[in-house]
Structure 1
Amino acid sequence: MNKVSKREAIVGCILGTAVGDALGLPYEGVSSQRAPKLLGPPDRYRFLFGRGMISDDTEHTCMVAQSLIEANGDVDIFTKRFASRLRWWILAFPAGVGKATARSGIKLWLGAKPQNAGVFSAGNGPAMRAAVFGAAIDDCTLLLHMVRASSRLTHSDPKAEYGAIAVALAAKHSRDNETADANLWLEQVAEAVGNEGVELTDLLRKADQSIRTGESTPDFAQGLGLGKGVTGYTYHTVPVAIHAWLAHPKDFRQAVATIIRCGGDADTTAAIVGGIVGAGVGREGGEGNIPEEWIDGLCEWPRSVTWMRSLGESLAASIDANPTTGTKPPSINPLGVLLRNLLFLLVVLFHGFRRLAPPY
């Protein structure tokens, strides 16, 4: 498989995040033992009459992309624009929003500055929206500044930041290399997170060693004590997601299905893996790429597949454009978002009640 262009990587990352998110969503919170009996294999959408819908993982990725377009490489502008979008996003009643993100959104409405809005949490919120940084940004120094700004807006625990850095660098590595070099990527992560992130780098090395022995991603998760499912703790989420990526670096279908089979926070883990692998394989249409039927099966508005493609194209164009001219991100209908979220909430409630019934 040939190296993809930056434009293809960005669009592939956004669509890959959306597809992984939508495929994993029905499995969220279900154990790896019960999921096959309750839902069947993760080979098609099982959320809304055979169609898929996205959750906060993709929505945050889109908000990051929009804010990157407006920032033109300025970290302060990015932070302000992303903070503004987060404030309004909270008002649209998003279902399943993480506690730390919700609290930071409330703090922003109460007047907190973006630099002080984060709460002390090592959740996987920053990691779920980090892949697009790696797909879009060449300069590693700028990439790290952007990821840190995004992370600290909602999560002040450095662990959340380190997990997001690992994901962003994985997406960049996936985009820049025809084959994955785990050692090279690990060196970059270790340098970026320093001694404070040694716990994470040790876990990532364990993931690499596990793959070299031929261990499957679900077995690796089991070895970390995550047999019932991957939790939202970033030092659980990120190593297992990285394992799935390194095990299937250019095979989107296998990578995403493998991480979903691990259970737990399946929409977020699959969104992360989908974003990383999507950045490496690009758009749909080829062997190992994002399956066309999965993209066509997304049932979304106003953040439709067409809108997400346009967003990716605009982000790529903004990077190539003259900074003085600027590029505007595609807009979104706020009333449409609210109506869509009400439908989404009803479907989520249906799935919640369905889980009360057998099979167990």
Structure 2
Amino acid sequence: MTTDPRSRALASLRGLALGDALGSQFFVPDNRTRLDERRLPPAPWQWTDDTEMACSVVAVLAEHGRIDQDALAASFAMHHDFDRGYGPSTNRLLRLIREGGSWRELVADTFDGRGSWGNGAAMRIAPLGAWFAGDPVRAAREATLSAEATHAHPEGIAGAVAVAVAASLLAGADRSEPADLLDAVLALTPAGRVHDGIATARELLPVASASLVARQLGNGSRTSAQDTVPFALWAALTRLDDFREAFWTTASVGGDVDTTCAIVGGIVAAGGVEPPFEWGALCEALPEWSLTPGAG
């Protein structure tokens, strides 16, 4: 594993983007039978808002070495592409930030002042964990700052923390058993529904059937952090050595496929497992601004 944080983050970002782009293809009705048969859909595969926001996270880390919340919110707003599949509330939030609104006030006002507990903060965060390899406490702190730029609800923040911690541990060459890795994630994930879901995921580690596990944990269909992150962690940590198997297992349960596969792809790649070369060749390239420090 490289000692360069940017290289680690970019490796995770590529895994995330591939999981996102390929997963998103299975929302197309004609491709659903391909999922059941584990056949790849026609290329090119375009990534969604999951990857676009993850690119901003990496760009801000490359420029500042940490999460600067003002810079991150500005990057989200600057690079916001309505056609990438953002949710309505995020579309509105980023438009208002672009028009000069205070991201702190806007985020706090979402969902009648409750804040969002959606899975958006978790879907983009694995590269941050890779950046802070072997330092899960720092990863948790920086993931919180990243999440707060769009999510004020504690569950939305907890989902980001859990994913970042898992990626940090794996990028730091922690090859503990999945149960031990989940214990380490639980130790740093704030109490709440995400935490409880991860605890259940730990209990379900011996279960081989992804569909049975998803029935217990959720598959992201509600787009909440608590409905998404526990299953994604189960899928990633039980298939750490095989990107293909991790992807197909995650996608097989349906739900918010692009997001669950983005999380899993980012975590597995953070652990040093490269996506299949032939898959990467079929995926939309990352934007240049995410690859060049200072360009985001």
Same fold flag (TM > 0.5): yes
Alignment of 1:97-116 (within 5 A): 97-116=86-105
Partner of 2:154: 158
Pairs aligned (count) = 287
Task: Give the superposed CA RMSD.
Answer: 2.6
Deviates more, 1:12-21 or 1:130-139: 130-139
Larger Rg: 1
Task: Give the match's secondary structure for 1:211.
Answer: coil
Q: Is the 8 A contact 2:78 2:98 kept in 1?
A: no
Residue 63 of structure 1 aligns to which amino acid in structure 2? S
Are 2:240 and 1:243 equivalent residues in the alignment?
Answer: no
Partner of 2:10: 11
Alignment of 1:132-211 (within 5 A): 132-138=127-133, 139-177=135-173, 179-194=175-190, 197-211=191-205
* Structure 1 position 5, deviation (Å): 2.1
Q: Is the 8 A contact 2:165 2:188 kept in 1?
A: no
Structure 1 residue runs without a partner (length 5+): 283-288, 315-327, 332-360
Partner of 1:335: none
- Show structure 1 runs of 4+ deviating over 6 A: none
Residue 130 of structure 1 aligns to which amino acid in structure 2? I
Q: Is the 8 A contact 1:252 1:274 kept in 2?
A: yes
**What is the TM-score of this pair, normalised by structure 2?**
0.86
Question: What's the CA shift string for 1:196-215, capped at 9, x where partnerless?
Answer: x2432221122122122x33
Residue 129 of structure 1 aligns to which amino acid in structure 2? R
Q: Is the 8 A contact 2:200 2:217 kept in 1?
A: no
Distance 1:164 1:29 in 2: 28
* Structure 1 position 171, deviation (Å): 0.7
Structure 2 residue runs without a partner (length 5+): none
Deviates more, 1:4-13 or 1:14-23: 4-13
Question: What's the CA shift string for 1:246-282, capped at 9, x where partnerless?
Answer: 2101211100111111101101110100000001125
Distance 2:34 2:249 in 1: 17
Partner of 2:271: 280
| Counterparts in 2 of 1:43 and 1:280: CA distance versus 1, 3 Å | farther
Are 2:61 and 1:95 equivalent residues in the alignment?
Answer: no
Counting aligned pairs with the same residue, the percent is 30
Alignment of 1:1-360 (within 5 A): 4-7=1-4, 9-28=8-27, 36-37=32-33, 40-44=36-40, 46=41, 49-73=42-66, 75=67, 78-90=68-80, 92-118=81-107, 119=110, 120-138=115-133, 139-177=135-173, 179-194=175-190, 197-212=191-206, 214-224=207-217, 230-282=221-273, 289-300=274-285, 303=286, 307=288, 311=291, 328-330=293-295
Distance 1:295 1:172 in 2: 23
Q: Is the 8 A contact 1:29 1:265 kept in 2?
A: no
* Structure 1 position 330, deviation (Å): 4.5
